[in-house]
Amino acid sequence: MVKNSTKRMRHFLSASVAISLSITLSGCGGEASTNTDIESVDVVTPVEDWVMVWGDEFDGTAIDMTKWSHEVTCDGGGNQEKQCYTDSSDNSFVSDGFLNIVALPAAEGSAQPYTSARMITRDKADFTYGRFEMKAKLPSGQGSWPAFWMMPTDETYGGWPKSGEIDIVESVNLKAGRADGVVENNVYGTLHYGKDSPDNVSSG
């Protein structure tokens, strides 16, 4: 069983990117390298003039459907994923102050060998600018690809990736051993943009 627990999702400031929260069995990482000066921004001291406008602490007994929607599809999530996204409480539920997203083997004869959940805020909580915070425990193992990411609500500049995508966090096959003996230990944050594939660009 692959389990993703998420708590304390908050958004500070104003309102056109929909948040997608998913656990996938394959996904949209990207090869990129950047130099980030972590000393240039003080991430510890609160910015006093910012105001929280959206949050979910998952303190109830059920998913707040005024804030989230389930994508229900078996089309592979655009990444040839071997799973169906469902709205079943077996695949996504709230417990002990956490949102749990669980990937499970599907029943024999199903369209895909696994089931999971993809939850989005599109058309319920869309933001243009701000600061996003989340706390999550990511699963590990071959075939896991949990992600927290943002897509445009309105594809102003065209379909993917022309209008952009911000992958806040993804981990790919975390802790799985490769054939060369290396253990996977990468966690990604990636920007996708540019022209239609194969001329798309990513950095992160």
Give the active site residues: 165, 170
- Dihedral sign for Cα atoms in the order 96, 97, 103, 108: positive
Residue showing tokens 């069995």: 25
Rounded CA Rg of the chain: 17
Half-sphere exposure of 81 (CA within 13 A, CB side): 27
Strand duo 114-116 + 83-85: pairing: parallel
8 Å CB contact between 65 and 28 = no
